Amino acid sequence: MNAAHRLDASINELQSECKYQKELGNTKRLTAIEKMVSELLQMKTAEEKRDNKTMNDAKTAETETLGTIKRFLEYAEDAANWNNQPWIINDNVFHTSTKGAIKQNAGYIFWMKAWGWIETHCYEKGEYYMTITDAGWAYAAEHGIEYIEMH
């Protein structure tokens, strides 16, 4: 039982107690219980928001992971066109200049580096390319993308 469900059980129990105290005419006790119910309802709302945020964070993480994998495999497929050193921006994979898209691609690049699939290099200011590591090529091979030796 999660925290929100436990809070629900407590709220229901206290609401029953409210009815009983109301029947008895015990306004002092009724006021105290109503205050507790109000506080528990606030706690429940906060807990539900936290649970929703956790679920949304998990969905975002899953989307980012799938996006990173998809983008990496696109770079790996295109690598032979760039002597196995594809450009990070303005290549066959990623060629947009909108800020949102650049930020998203930067996130993909971050995770590719963190997972050890690529290394990034600066050619000139603002021009970056990547090399795919052995670990990256091994992962690409699992998806049917083979390293092509360049001469």
Predicted structure pTM score: 0.57
Per residue in 31-63, pLDDT (tens digit) is 888 888 888 788 777 777 777 666 666 665 665
**Is residue 13 included in any domain, yes or no?**
yes
Tell me: the pLDDT tens digits for 92-148? 676 555 555 667 778 888 889 999 999 999 888 878 889 999 999 999 999 999 888
Query: For residue 123, what is the enclosing H or E element?
Result: strand 118-124
CA 134 to chain centre: 27
Shared domain for 136 and 71, answered yes or no, is yes
Q: CATH number for the domain including 122?
A: 1.10.10
Give the three-class secondary structure for 132: strand
Angstrom distance (rounded) from CA 84 to CA 70: 18
**pLDDT at residue number 139:** 92
User: 121 and 71 share a domain?
Assistant: yes
Split into its structural domains, the chain has a count of: 2
pLDDT of 131 reads: 93
39 domain residue, yes or no: yes
Residue 146 CA to residue 136 CA, distance in Å, equals: 11
Using an 8 Å Cβ cutoff, are 84 and 150 in contact?
A: yes
The answer on 122 and 50 residing in a single domain is: no
Q: Is the domain of 117 the same as that of 135?
A: yes
3-class state of residue 125 by DSSP: coil
Burial of 77 (0-12, 13-18, 19+ CB in 10 A): middle
Residues 105 and 132 in one domain: yes
Range of the domain at 130: 60-142
